[in-house]
Amino acid sequence: MTRIPHDASGAPDPLRALGLDRLRRRTSMKWRTYPEDVLPLWVAEMDVPIAEPVVRAVTDALALGDTGYPAGTAYAEALAGFAAKRWDWDGIAVERTALVPDVMLGVVEMLKLVTGPGDPVIVNSPVYPPFYQFVTHMDRRVVEAPLGAGLRIDLGVLEDAFRATTAGGDRAAFLLCSPHNPTGTVHIAAELAAVADLAERYGVRVVADEVHAPLVSPDVTFVPYLSVPGAQRGLSLMSASKGWNLPGLKAALALAAPGAAADLDRMPEEVSHGPSHLGVLAHTAALNDATDWLDALLPGLDANRRLLTALLAEHLPAVRVHPGQGTYLAWLDCRALGLGDDPAQVFLDRGRVALSSGIPFGTGGAGHARLNLGTSPEILAEAVRRMAAAVA
């Protein structure tokens, strides 16, 4: 029988702080989409208390009535400081940043700058479903370059996609997910440099969604796309929303490499009206003052990855889990269970566990499900037991 590991780090693990009774008092999408008998391990919200410096920043602003529109560059300066300390990267120039409402709306604005209606946007499937939704809603077309062995970028497949999409003179973009959602793959420097080389060779513009950048295993280093050789025309979106569980406090930053500064300068001024002032304050406080909280979280996520692997080996050995080193997401290959294209629906109907269906993640998603392990070990263990009972 798999034992739930004891937290012996000495630092309080945010994942162990909240019980199910308190979590069910939340009114966000995660806790209100399904009935109370369902364990929700689907949408990207973690079951953690908010870091105290973030709470203080927001409550102080409310006490002052400081609820107007965002201003200044404090958020960009905080991200630059975090990147320098965390990733040994001093490449964030405040003058080459712009406030955007959130990462996906920032992606839309960046793609508008470097592509036109009908142009192709390449993605590495299976990938975050809004990549398909937002791209098609803005009248671009999605071209898949599926991940290869080990759920890593297949550079040969990617080059074929770059060659095919630029052959007719279209302005193509590559929407890079780094770290990758749903697989948790953390791209290494050599892979990203190879991507940059291909992009320059074929004239493809790279827009990197790096929202999960703070959430990598303690023994892994995140590599910003704009830091690799050859990425001089790249664009990136970053935010504290995933790392500190702040998706409801809307704010993100668009970053431009030196060769893309003129593109960023063309972004309409009204885009900067969309971020929440409270969101900017919260994200700034997280990056400046709540890294201790993040450092307590990361070993807990690592422990949950190991726990999930052990639980599945014991209760659902036919399910293969990809041992991603980033995000708080796990990609489950359930095809050997014989549950059809949408095993998440079976786990919901029979086991009362809500996972994300793999189908909307594109090619490679059928027969898979995405599980959010950003919860307590006890809830994670109960979810796996329910899943096993659903197919017994």
- SS3 per residue for 229-279: CCCCCCEEEECCCCCCCCCCCCCEEEEECHHHHHHHHCCCHHHHHCCCHHH
Q: Residue 11's pLDDT is what?
A: 72
Q: Residue 343's pLDDT is what?
A: 98
Q: Residue 6's pLDDT is what?
A: 61
Q: Residue 323's pLDDT is what?
A: 78
Q: For residue 3, give Cα distances in angstroms to 40, 101, 307, 373.
A: 22, 42, 8, 16
Q: Residue 227's pLDDT is what?
A: 98
Q: Is there a contact between 316 and 387 (Cβ–Cβ < 8 Å)?
A: yes
Q: Is there a contact between 386 and 371 (Cβ–Cβ < 8 Å)?
A: no
- 146 vs 153: CA distance, rounded Å: 8
pLDDT in tens, 248-280: 999 999 999 999 999 999 999 999 999 999 999
- Where are the alpha helices (H) located in the chain, listed in sequence order? 20-23, 29-32, 52-64, 74-86, 103-114, 130-137, 155-166, 189-202, 261-265, 277-289, 291-315, 343-351, 377-390
Taken in order 376, 328, 299, 347, the sign of the CA dihedral is positive
Q: For residue 102, give Cα distances in angstroms to 69, 157, 177, 275.
A: 15, 30, 15, 7
The model carries a pTM of 0.96
Q: Residue 2's pLDDT is what?
A: 76
Please report the domains of the chain, with CATH numbers, ordered by start residue: 14-49+291-390 (3.90.1150.10), 55-289 (3.40.640.10)
Q: Is there a contact between 209 and 254 (Cβ–Cβ < 8 Å)?
A: no
Residues constituting the chain = 392
Looking up tokens 């990733």, which residue turns up?
87
Q: Which residues of the chain have pLDDT under 70?
A: 5-10
Provide the b/e sequence for 20-37 (b: ≥16 CB within 10 Å): eeebeeeeeebbeeeeee
Q: Residue 5's pLDDT is what?
A: 65
Neighbouring residues of 320: CB distance < 8 A, sequence distance ≥ 6: 332, 333, 336
Query: ω into residue 179 within 30 of 0, thus cis?
Result: yes
